[in-house]
Amino acid sequence: MNFSRYFALWCGISVFLLLPGCGRKPPEVAPKPTRPVSVAVAEARDVPVYLDEIGNCTAFETVLFQPQVTGAITGIHFKDGQEVRRGDLLFSIDPRPYEAALAKAKATLEQDRAKAAYDRSQVARYQELIKTKVIAPQEFESIRSTAQGSQAAVLADEALVHTAQINLEYCEIRSPIDGRASKRMVDIGNIVSANTTQLLLIQRQDPIYVDFTIPEGALSDVRKFRDKGTLKVEASFSDDPSKRREGAFDFLDSGVQQNTGTVRMRALLENKDRLFWPGQFVNVRLLLDIIKDAVLIPNEALQIGQVGPFVFVVKTDATVELRKVKPGQRQGDAVVVQEGLKPSETVVVTGQIALAPGTRVQIAGAAK
């Protein structure tokens, strides 16, 4: 067979075999899957710098009553738990022994005053006699010394009368402050002893102190902001944070407590409605300063990984970028981002578990 004939036949077969493939489309590359996420927009606003501690409410003034004279209780002029005012009569002690003591002291005073007057007249008389040398100088000195002793006795008697008067006044026990009375510790008829028997506790509740401590490491910041005059205190209840009240910084202790490494502080709060009660524990937030235009994102957006704290930022092409950030204090449901994020950038709030840098996302909800 001719070679050229075989060559032509082979070419025809090759063309015939190649023709079916000429109409095929090249295989398409499958698109990367998108991940549904919810997002939020980082916002800028002023936020406080604060320390959260536990505090204890204490009365502004506290008085524990003890009698200053001994005797029987003859009257109780308040009810347990009553609000009392300064000057209100609380207890009466039998005054009769002290009235008698006062009367006796006054009588002794009058007797000695009469004697002192007589002795003074004797001195005046003997002064004339000594001028004429009718009496010896020693006799005149004796008369004058007696007169001086009589005058000293009068002064002593006046002091005894004053003491007896004070003791009689102590038979009426009055409140030196405004406050709430505790349960009384004695009843009518009880014999009470001076400076020994406890009668009653009164605590002034408005305003009220809140005592708390701060860690030693925060002392330098607290002192700095105290000197700037920006310190404020908020007190609230753990079971009802909505009951919150702001007060003023009042006291910073002079030293660090060595056994705990803490420093005692105190705030003063208005308490006319008796929202806070002495002895009650409260949550204390010590406000140090205000950060202007801080960047905030929802707490759920912040993630912790091998690189440290990070967030997923949604870019304009709907892919995500892993961004390292430096978080600051929490502000309720949000957290401050000190570094790594700008206001108006969009971060992923939920759905991070399926994400990696470059992943395309589908926003499942509107940005907050």
Rounded distance between C-alpha atoms, residue 297 and residue 336, angstroms: 7
Residues 222 and 165 in one domain: no
Does residue 21 fall inside a structural domain?
no
Report how many domains make up the chain: 3
Which whole number is the average pLDDT over 218-240? Answer: 91
Does residue 338 fall inside a structural domain?
yes
Q: What is the pLDDT of residue 241?
A: 82
Residues 41 and 69 in one domain: no
Residue 18 has pLDDT above 50, yes or no: no
Q: What is the pLDDT of residue 130?
A: 72
Q: What is the Cβ-side half-sphere exposure of residue 97, based on CA atoms within 13 angstroms?
A: 9
Q: What is the pLDDT of residue 367?
A: 47
**Domain ends where: 252, 277, 292?**
292
- How are the residues of the chain apportioned to helix, strand and coil, as percentages rounded to the nearest 5? 30, 40, 30
Residues 277 and 346 in one domain: no
Which whole number is the average pLDDT over 66-92? Answer: 97
**Residue 31 — pLDDT band, cuts 50, 70, 90?**
low
Rounded distance between C-alpha atoms, residue 219 and residue 28, angstroms: 66
Residues 174 and 232 in one domain: no
Does residue 28 fall inside a structural domain?
no
Q: What is the pLDDT of residue 27?
A: 56
Q: What is the pLDDT of residue 5?
A: 52
Does residue 19 fall inside a structural domain?
no
Residues 99 and 179 in one domain: yes
**Residue 40 — pLDDT band, cuts 50, 70, 90?**
very high
**Residue 8 — pLDDT band, cuts 50, 70, 90?**
very low
Q: What is the pLDDT of residue 268?
A: 97
Predicted structure pTM score: 0.71
Q: Which two tokens stand for residue 294?
A: 């801080």
Residue 183 has pLDDT above 50, yes or no: yes
Residue 22 has pLDDT above 80, yes or no: no
Return the exposure string of 316-343: e unless at least 16 CB atoms fall within 10 Å of the residue's CB, then b: eeebbebbebebbbebeebbbbeebbee
Residues 98 and 108 in one domain: yes
Does residue 70 fall inside a structural domain?
yes
Residues 270 and 315 in one domain: no
**Domain ends where: 292, 313, 330?**
292
Residues 116 and 156 in one domain: yes
Average pLDDT over the chain, rounded to an integer: 89
Q: State residue 184 phi and psi, 5-degree precision.
A: -65, 150
Does residue 256 fall inside a structural domain?
yes
- List, for residues 133-148, the tens digit of each pLDDT value: 777 778 878 888 998 9
Which whole number is the average pLDDT over 309-333? Answer: 92
What lies within 8 Å, CB to CB, of 337 at 6+ separation is 42, 295, 296, 297, 311, 325, 326, 327, 328
- List, for residues 191-214, the tens digit of each pLDDT value: 999 999 999 999 999 999 999 999
Does residue 299 fall inside a structural domain?
yes
Q: What is the pLDDT of residue 230?
A: 85
Residues 40 and 146 in one domain: no
Least confidently predicted of 137-151, 176-190, 247-261: 137-151
Residues 286 and 310 in one domain: no
**Domain ends where: 268, 292, 316?**
292
Domain with 327 in it? 36-45+293-363
Residues 176 and 225 in one domain: no
- List, for residues 280-300, the tens digit of each pLDDT value: 999 999 999 888 999 999 999
**Residue 1 — pLDDT band, cuts 50, 70, 90?**
very low
Residues 91 and 41 in one domain: no
Q: What is the pLDDT of residue 96?
A: 97
Least confidently predicted of 124-133, 222-231, 334-343: 124-133
CATH number for the domain that contains residue 356: 2.40.420.20
CATH number for the domain that contains residue 217: 2.40.30.170
What lies within 8 Å, CB to CB, of 350 at 6+ separation is 37, 38, 300
Q: What is the pLDDT of residue 42?
A: 94
Does residue 334 fall inside a structural domain?
yes
